[in-house]
Amino acid sequence: MAALTSMFGCMFVIVAAFLAGATTAQLSPDFYDQACPQALPAIKIVVEQAIGREPRMGASLLRLHFHDCFVNGCDGSLLLDDFPGFTGEKTAAPNLNSVRGFEVVDQIKAAVDSACYGSVVSCADILAIAARDSVVTLGGQSYEVLVGRRDARTASKDDANNNIPPPTLDFPALLSNFQSHGLALEDLVVLSGAHTIGMARCTTFKNRIYNETNIDSSFASALQMICPPTGGDNNTSPLDETTTIFDTVYFNDLLEEKGLLHTDQQLFKSDGSASDGLVRYYSTNSKAFGADFGVSMIKMGNMKPLTGSDGEIRANSSSFWYSLAKARDAQGRNCAATIFVLLQLRNDSKHSSRKPSLERAQVVLMDCLKGMSMSVTGRNSTPPSHPILLVVRDTL
């Protein structure tokens, strides 16, 4: 059993809480002031250390927050790992071999849990705070992060594929995407300014440097030396000329048709549009850019957060099974161990002699989960829909 618990500790994670119903709550800047005043300083230290080791990490952490929020809200779902019967968002096309920095998030989680003597700060909040701290560490203006989010128990690869805007969109589709998330034209332009830091892979801009005409010829030629017509898809280029400084060079580059991505240059087409005006404005007004960027980040960070009793506070940023490996129901039974037995029995279920054991294990699991619900809610209630139940339904 010790070996079994160790295996689950490495592979799986969930806080064993099946809460019935939900309460509404608002995000606030002082959510952790009483519960753990050391939380935000602990996050900042790890972020600064990570960027000190690798300046590009600031852009990576900022991007994690974007990609998390654009898929069913800012709920930490991007961080969840795949496991049998569950597919997360990390392997979706916009994320696969692209988003990075998960190891730093794990370091932040460990540091903040140590500072708070337990899992007090959600992974979703860690992403929001780390994004702000990354901007500040690289020279950008600070802004007040609203916190109090809780973590999702599920994720959607399909929604990640559909909701995260690819770098090939023309302006109307790009704006429509942002508007579908409750963001406006001004948010689109100012949040795109996050591309003032970081790198992009050749596969994301190769078509632009070889086939588009609204691009500076010298700029395109230089990029073609890095990205050949075939191959080299994972070679990288800076998103602007000062890739480790959070400044307004990105907007100046757009004025000179040096936007690296197709979606970047779509913001400035020299047609007198509203987006053209915003790009010109921010190119010469760094204070306005910094202030407006913070406002739009807060707006984006408020997209469908889980609060109150919705979701959970994960014990581990990348999985929702870890605590379940230790959890017991009111009768002292280990539900995770029962799931493991189910998965083992499933492999032998084609043998008729194993089917009665499989059926009994399924009954025990459902009773165990119900017992866990009763022990948390204090009432006799059927566990709500949860990924664990989907595992039973879909893989067993």
Catalytic residues: 67
For residue 173, give the H/E element and its range: helix 171-180
What's the token pair of residue 111? 């540091």
Alpha carbons 196 and 177: distance in angstroms, whole number? 21
Alpha carbons 297 and 126: distance in angstroms, whole number? 14
Alpha carbons 360 and 344: distance in angstroms, whole number? 13
Torsion angle, alpha carbons of 67, 70, 76, 82, to 10: -70
Strands (DSSP E) found in 133-273: 199-201, 236-238
Cβ pair 75, 122 in contact under 8 A? no
* Distance, C-alpha 203 to centroid of its chain: 22
Helix (H, G, I), strand (E, B) or coil at 150: strand
Cβ pair 219, 254 in contact under 8 A? no
CA distances from 289 to 57, 111, 276, 302, 328 (A): 22, 32, 15, 20, 51
What's the token pair of residue 281? 């404005």
Alpha carbons 317 and 68: distance in angstroms, whole number? 13
Alpha carbons 220 and 242: distance in angstroms, whole number? 18
Alpha carbons 355 and 3: distance in angstroms, whole number? 26
Alpha carbons 294 and 203: distance in angstroms, whole number? 30
For residue 306, give the H/E element and its range: none
Alpha carbons 88 and 157: distance in angstroms, whole number? 6
Cβ pair 92, 160 in contact under 8 A? yes
Cβ pair 92, 157 in contact under 8 A? yes
Cβ pair 78, 71 in contact under 8 A? yes
